[in-house]
Structure 1
Amino acid sequence: MVVLLEGMCPGLDKDLLRSLRAADIRTVEDLVSSDIEDVAQKCSVSYKALLSIRRVLLAQHTAFPVSGADLYEELLSSTAILSTGNPSLDKLLDSGLYTGEITELSGGPGSGKSQVCFGVSVHIAHRLKQSVIYIDTTGGLTASRLLQMLQTETDNTDEQMEALQRIHTFRLFDVCALLDCLYGLCSGGLHKARVGGGSVKAVIVDSVSAVIAPLLGGRHNEGMSLMIQVAAALKTMAKDFSVAVLVTNHVTRSGSGEVQPGLGVSWSHIPRTRILLERVETGACVSRPGRRRVTLVKSSRQACRIKEDFDLQRWSGADGEAPSGKRKLDQADP
């Protein structure tokens, strides 16, 4: 069930949305299954305009068959791998973040999720010369922190400013604002974000769970519907625009007490790759607060439960070859 929202398609504005809700039409399913002529009369809107909206919504939310050969050719021609800038993390991710896919980083408070996102965005903007969309839902992103990380990469002030210009930030604190932002990016915002010849190659949402988790639970299913809409928008963006999507998530505990990514079973099918970030608190590493351990929870390319250790305070560049058939994006790529 997909809830109707302003801006989902041309013509679906705030006034029409209010009229549709007054007519008890709240979801895409309600609209496409209703008598359009009857709805047009109730809402005092043009039958032709409402029919056009219905056709667009059907096209957006209907699957079309694609052959396996076409999928494979598309994979070879469009998939690139973005180094995260950290060798250990790249190794766990089978060389880095893949365009066309959603990668999830989950962890508890203070585990360093945002720090990893900062490091990834700085590396892509500075080293790879590509633009990054950074959606901050917690208010944790600051320009001073990004500049501090860039200053460890280069002493050249011009290079620092150029990299900062490639990181486009949005501060959004509710799921409707997030959806509006994602729809806007898909309808032209990604092209407008091209800076210095580099296209948008990564979209980071830190954190997706901060705006979704409060809506889940209870007897109302609107929160679940909004979560699926966010997932669909991220998947569409990743695939249609060949960008790597990185989202962060909180953690919960299973019935056996094991730490696991949050947002439940329905969300677990959305990311192609899921990694769990934890602090290392035992042994000699206690005196090194930046030490972290990442565990591969879900992957279609590597065996799960692989673990890697790395230091957040040493976010350095990574070299390496991409797997056969895909290209490693290690320099400006128009």
Structure 2
Amino acid sequence: MALLSSIDHDLLNEETIQILNTKSIYSVLDFLNEDVDEIAHLTDLTYVDIFSIQQHIYQKFNTTSISGLDLYEKIKESHISTGIPRLDTALKGGLPCGKITEVCGLPCSGKTQLVTAISCNVSHHLKRNIIYVDAKNDFSGSRIYQILKETGCEEKELASSMDRIKVVRLWNMNALIYFIHELHRKESLRNCVSLVVVDSLPCLMLQHKGEKSKESIGLLNLFVNAARLVGTEHGISFIIVNLTTRWNELLVTEEDGKNVSKWVEKKVPALGKYWQFIPTTFIRTDIDKSCELKKIDISVKSSCDVLFGNTISFELNSIGIK
């Protein structure tokens, strides 16, 4: 409990506090529990003075109440809508602000399509800036134009929406970490930024695999700390694109008393075991090969590996994802 000496009030001077201390009144709680008549008798404080000090303590230490409506509005502000209603429902409101969300899948499973569609929606509907870190050097401005054009907006509005998507090309982890720190330091750089997309992090991380594996974990840790700092301080949501890799593993099983060997395909996220505890939300993408149309299946899980909902199927078309 806070001491009386920590209370910044004109009537609680050093002499008054010393007098109260002689009667074992040291903390704020002691002061509030003590009888008002006793305090007035010990000190030169009037009843009005004592009530004024008590009110000051209540205002400083009491929790403030919040209505159900205010709490609902606060919860809404804690998420960024993806502009895809069914995905927002699966995400319990949208992308969590100040947190890291992972989009992961096999090559050509719709990861870039998904983050491109989300970027367009945040820019066009929410009128917020997006920083798109293009680590693969394959960002398509014409694809952004095509998606926005399908919304039916005028050329001037379309140009404004495209301008709000800031593309940054980085080639190594050190440059990415430096950029995230600059984002924290420079207000002009993060002006109206609600979303940072890194597509994709394995492109930068795989440079440090093998003999440099320890260095890679260190760099990944530095990036995570910087991203969490920027996210928490400024309410920015991060989408990190990860890659699922395929491995063939020789599995030996016993059948009818004989050892039988067979190759089994194993799918492993490229960023390794350390990364699996970093994002708060995981979005998994996969191509639905059973359908003639090009569709992707999306499943959403929390960091506790809790499935938020059933797998959702989306059609890939000229407007991105439907």
Matching residue of 2:316 = 312
Corresponding residue for residue 238 of structure 2: 245
State the SS of the aligned residue for 1:245.
strand
1:279–1:292 Cα contact (<8 Å) kept: yes
Letter in 2 for 1:234: A
- Pair 115,297 (structure 1): closer, same or farther in 2 beyond 3 Å: same
TM-score by length of 1: 0.65
For 1:197-241, what per-residue CA distance to the aligned partner results, in whole angstroms no more than 9, with x for missing partners? xx1111111111110133133365111111111111111111111
Paired residue type of 1:209: P
SS in 1 for 2:121: helix
Contact 2:114/2:321, CA 8 A, preserved across alignment? no
* CA distance in 2 between partners of 1:221 and 1:145 (Å): 38
| Consecutive unaligned residues in structure 1, runs of 5 or more | 1-68, 319-334
Q: By how many angstroms is 1:77 displaced?
A: 8.0
Q: Distance in 2 between matches of 1:83 and 1:312?
A: 19
Map of 1:160 onto structure 2: 158
Task: Decide whether the 8 Å contact of 2:296 with 2:316 is kept in 1.
Answer: yes
1:187 correspondence with 2:180: no
Structure 2 counterpart of 1:176, from 174, 177, 188: 174
Q: Paired residue for 2:284?
A: 276
Describe the superposition over 1:138-177 as per-residue Cα deviations: whole angstroms up to 9, x where unpaired: 0111222111111011330110011111111101121111
Whether the 8 Å contact between 1:94 and 1:302 is mirrored in structure 2 is no
Normalising by the residue count of structure 2, what TM-score does the alignment of the two structures yield? 0.67
Distance 1:101 1:307 in 2: 22
Q: 1:273 corresponds to which letter in structure 2?
A: T
Identify if the C-alpha distance between structure 1 residues 316 and 207 changes in structure 2 by more than 3 Å, giving closer, same or farther.
Answer: closer
1:296 lines up with 2:304 in the alignment: no
Q: 1:259, CA displacement in angstroms?
A: 2.9
Q: CA separation in 1, counterparts of 2:84 and 2:76?
A: 24
Contact 2:117 2:320 in 1 (8 A): no
SS at match of 1:153: coil
Is residue 94–residue 301 contact of structure 1 (8 Å, CA) maintained in 2? no
Residue 271 of structure 2, aligned match among 260, 263, 268: 263
Mark the CA change 1:259 to 1:156 in structure 2 (over 3 Å): closer, same or farther.
same
For structure 2, which runs of at least 5 residues remain unmatched after alignment? 1-62, 250-263
CA contact (8 A) 1:114 1:140 kept: no
Equivalent position of 1:221 in the other structure: 214
Q: Is the 8 A contact 2:150 2:318 kept in 1?
A: no
Shift of 1:79: 4.7
Q: Secondary structure, in 3 states, of the residue corresponding to 1:111? A: coil
The answer on whether the counterparts of 1:88 and 1:309 sit within 8 Å (CA) in structure 2 is no
User: How many pairs were matched up?
Assistant: 239
Runs of 4+ more than 6 Å apart: none
Going by fraction, where is strand more abundant, 1 or 2?
2
Structure 2 Cα separation of the partners of residues 157 and 133 of structure 1: 22
- Higher Cα Rg, which structure: 2
Matches within 5 A, 1:1-334: 76=74, 79-188=77-186, 191-194=188-191, 199-218=192-211, 220-253=213-246, 257-282=265-290, 285=291, 287-289=292-294, 291-299=295-303, 303=307, 306-313=310-317, 315=319
Alpha-carbon separation, structure 1, partners of 2:227 and 2:214: 20
Equivalent pairs: percent with the same residue? 26
Contact 1:86 1:315 in 2 (8 A): no
Q: Residue by residue, what CA displacement relative to the aligned partner does 1:114-151 show, whole Å, maximum 9, x if unpaired? A: 11111111100111111111111001112221111110
Question: What SS does the aligned partner of 2:317 have?
Answer: coil
Secondary structure of residue in 2 paired with 1:275: strand
Q: Give the direction of change, closer, same or farther, for the CA distance of 1:300–1:119 in structure 2 (3 Å limit).
A: same
Question: 1:247 corresponds to which letter in structure 2?
Answer: I
SS in 1 for 2:115: helix
Cα separation, 2, equivalents of 1:93 and 1:302: 12
Paired with 2:270 and 2:78, the residues of 1 have a C-alpha distance of 28
Paired residue type of 1:232:
N
